[in-house]
A and B are shown apart, each in its own frame.
Chain A
Amino acid sequence: MESMATRDAYGKALVELGRINKDVVVLDADLSKSTKTDGFQKEFPERFFNIGIAEQNLIGCAAGFATSGKIPFASSFAVFATGRAYDQIRNSVSYSHLNVKIAASHAGITVGEDGGSHQMLEDIALMRAVPGMTVIVPADGVETKKAIFAAAQYVGPVYIRLGRPKVPIIFDEDYIFAIGKAAVIKEGSDVALMATGIMVSEALKAAELLQNQGFSAAVVNISTIKPIDAETITKVAQKTKAVVTCEEHNIYGGLGSAVAEVLVENCPVPMERIGVKDVFGRSGKPQELMEKYGLTAKDIVDAACKAMARKTK
């Protein structure tokens, strides 16, 4: 299976976007080789600004660009882009609904060896809590490119969460991405696996394992976490009557919380959450960490069985 890191797809998409839209400017904070904005820098040096190791200033400058008709994409690691610069995101960008795109890489535990200080597991929660912020977590390289183009078209603040490791390509080029739309990528009737980001391919693997055990699992890609697609989530839950959410994020405040909010108001069904259970990460290889923190296809299968067992007969 072909694979590609979502950050690489971001870097490529930025260059293409830059060619067709002269208002796009890119800002980085001394991580352009890691966030992959260096490609844009090479082709459009006059529209690229390295702000240095100063994430608060990075977001502040992006807000200023947005007031002047530019479409700024600001990049750093997720932990610094959202954590260090939270006040600038809240008060300079979102409070005035400025047209700033924050594309942050190295989210989640798959950062690997750098360890817990660098493994951002709270960014979805933080960004989701900011009024007016759109939150997108692409599942693969194809969706990343489409999300970047959609974000540039949309007017308003957008947070795009990107990863470090290569992940399988799930979608083909005619996949339709729309902000706020969840996609049912596999139909099923016994349980719904609702996943985001790199966990979508893990959920697809889990659905296969469940199939072998005689269960029919639906897989839903929830790439826009905010605004959440309540309609699709409710429709699928009504059919399967059991849900598992899957995210490479703290179980508090992320996809699991967003889906739980939808279900409790519209269609309460048994639900289990796959995610990091309110602890910080640690150093290790990405795959080892996925196992340690219970984020593998097998963990999803176990959670699915638990959710199905809780269905009222």
Chain B
Amino acid sequence: MDEKTLAFLKDKAKTISRHIIEMTGAAGSGHPGGSLSAADIITYLYFKELKIDPNNPDWPERDRFVLSKGHAAPVLYAALAERGFFPVEDLVTLRKIDSYLQGHPDMKRVKGVEMTTGSLGTGFSTAVGMALAARMDKKDNFIFVLLGDGEIQEGQVWEAAMAAAHYKLDNMIAILDYNGLQIDGPVSEVLSPEPLPDKWRAFGWEVLEIDGHDFDAIEKAINKAKEVKGKPTMIIAKTIKGKGVSFMENEAGWHGSAPNKEQVEKALAELS
């Protein structure tokens, strides 16, 4: 990746992270931790990778992105707004009674949201359906999906994983936001899904392991995944929950609580 692109993506990711803080701060609730951990991945997808058109959100040839870990809605909304799907000013209406920006992604209300999610595990199956349909229609697009490392405790995830491999869905690229935390604490203590690379390989997936905050690594992995034939790819992206905000980083408590005024200011200063 050239330096200009890298600088652009880093800057964009910061802007998106700032939006996440402002949105959850204004709402007084929401999920900053898991939104921040995915900010770099989402930035790469929406500003370097996805074939999408904000002026034509239903363009049939577009790539699809499903946010299966739907509680990270703030990062998705921030990316969509920055990409021009709706006004950036609307972001701070998140979770308010008159806003179209629901606490969890709602495809009927928000342009650019490809699937309604919030119930963990459900988005992944819908991505498999999208990939099957795309292949049926001989499209050359890709179906991307982001999962949480707690989310993959859902049995449905492994049902979908089996189906994607069975149907050899090489048009499907899954990314795991491997931040090591869920609500009740470290994933390894609550209910360990390890060893993850082995499990996904055993389920018939190509597995790549990267640093989810390294844009070069994200780019290389996605490009490699697009070349894989005959099977879907899982990119296990090691991330930091609460990334970029010192007092939120690696703290399970910031999964689902919003920053107060002071904390918003402190966080924004760190993200400037």
Contacts and interface: CB of A to CB of B under 8 A. Distances in A.
Interface of A: 28, 30-34, 50-54, 56-57, 79-80, 83-84, 112-118, 282-285, 288-289, 292
A117 B29 contact: no
B153 A283 contact: no
B116 A117 contact: yes
Contacts of B70: 117
Nearest to A32: B184
B191 interface: yes
B102 A53 contact: no
B241 interface: no
Nearest to B120: A53
22 contacts: A30-B184, A30-B190, A33-B184, A34-B183, A52-B150, A52-B182, A53-B153, A53-B182, A79-B119, A112-B29, A113-B28, A113-B29, A113-B95, A115-B104, A115-B118, A283-B95, A283-B96, A283-B99, A284-B95, A285-B97, A289-B97, A292-B97
B183 A284 contact: no
B184 A31 contact: yes
The 7 closest A-B pairs by CB, nearest first: A52-B191, A117-B118, A284-B97, A52-B153, A115-B103, A113-B95, A115-B102
Given A284-B97, A288-B97, A289-B97, A54 B153 contact: yes
A38 B15 CA distance: 37
Contacts of B102: 115-117, 282-283
A115 B120 contact: no
B130 interface: no
A283 B116 CA distance: 14
A124 B193 CA distance: 33
B27 interface: yes
Contacts of A34: 183
Given A33-B183, A52-B153, 14 more contacts: A30-B153, A50-B184, A52-B182, A53-B120, A113-B28, A113-B95, A113-B103, A115-B118, A116-B106, A117-B119, A283-B95, A283-B101, A284-B96, A289-B97
